[in-house]
Amino acid sequence: MAIDTRQLLSQFQGLTFDGIGSWPLLPRLAVWMMVIVVCAAAGYFLLWSHQSEELDQLRAEELTLKDQYRAKLQQAINLDELRRQKELVSQYVLTLEKQLPSKAEMDALLSDINQAGIGRGLQFELFRPGQTSLKDYYAELPISVRVSGRYHDLGAFAGDIANLPRIVTLNNLNLATQRDGGLALDATAKTYRYLDEEELAAQRSARQQAQAAKK
């Protein structure tokens, strides 16, 4: 059956929107189809625009999360390094503490110094501990010593002092020849110990009083 194109087109002639209710069926269907297409296009555009904004927001959040992850990862790497350094410092402090005797161990250390000289055949003419000097975290004890003997024995004695398990230093060394041809060594041996709790508490109290006096 052939479609009469002229007849179809004639239905669209002379139409006005004022009389849309009396339009033939075909023009009314065409208008409704156009309205549906326009509404669908508008809805699709609005929906796509909203989804595009959400997509952009999600992408921005993804970038933010990636940056935060990188920052946290860097912090974790730095934290591991800081922990390693702290462990090294703790081991170093522990080693130093082992070389510093307590107040109760000082008598044994003085005996070790004396035995180091006697073991080398030296004669102690003077062995006089001085006044203990308190520092921030340790105490220093000077010992005035005068030993006499042969040159090589005096040198070996100085080496033995340096090799003691505790920290002992020889200061203000003065070597003199005696009348019998022997040598006499005058020195100040300094040894160190860590402070006990009572001494630390006294230092903290003194610092607090000094700070209060400045205010």
Residues 118-173: pLDDT tens digits?
A: 999 999 999 999 998 888 778 888 999 999 999 899 999 999 998 888 888 899 99
Contact call for residues 142 and 188 (beta carbons, < 8 A): yes
In the predicted model, is pLDDT for residue 197 greater than 90?
Answer: no
Over residues 77-93, the mean pLDDT reads 71
What total number of domains does the chain contain? 2
Place of tokens 């250390």: 109
The Cα 135–Cα 201 span in angstroms is: 13
Q: Which residue has the higher pLDDT, 165 or 40?
A: 165
Residues in the chain: 215
The CA-based dihedral angle spanning residues 38, 42, 44, 47, taken in that order and rounded to the nearest 10 degrees: -160
Q: Is 100 exposed, middle or buried (CB count within 10 Å of its CB: 0-12, 13-18, 19+)?
A: middle
Range of the domain at 87: 26-99
Over residues 57-74, the mean pLDDT reads 74
115 and 55 in a common domain: no
The Cα 203–Cα 211 span in angstroms is: 12
81 and 33 in a common domain: yes
In the predicted model, is pLDDT for residue 13 greater than 60?
Answer: no
180 and 113 in a common domain: yes
Q: Which of 23-37, 71-85, 132-146 has the lowest mean pLDDT?
A: 23-37
187 forms bridges with which residues in the sheet?
A: 145
Q: What mean pLDDT, rounded, does the chain reach?
A: 76
Single residue among 82, 99, 116 that ends a domain in this structure: 99
pLDDT band at 192 (very low <50, low <70, confident <90, very high): confident
The Cα 192–Cα 204 span in angstroms is: 20
Q: pTM for this structure?
A: 0.51
In the predicted model, is pLDDT for residue 21 greater than 60?
Answer: no
pLDDT band at 191 (very low <50, low <70, confident <90, very high): confident
197 and 117 in a common domain: yes
79 and 53 in a common domain: yes
Note every long-range contact of 176-180, with CB atoms under 8 Å and residues 24 or more positions apart, other chains counting.
178/148
Q: What is the CATH number of the domain that holds 191?
A: 3.30.70.60
Residue 69: both structure tokens together? 């992850």
Classify the C-alpha dihedral 16-20-21-26 as positive or negative: positive
Over residues 62-81, the mean pLDDT reads 73
In the predicted model, is pLDDT for residue 10 greater than 70?
Answer: no
Over residues 178-195, the mean pLDDT reads 86
64 Cβ contact list (under 8 Å, min separation 6): none
3-state secondary structure of 178: coil
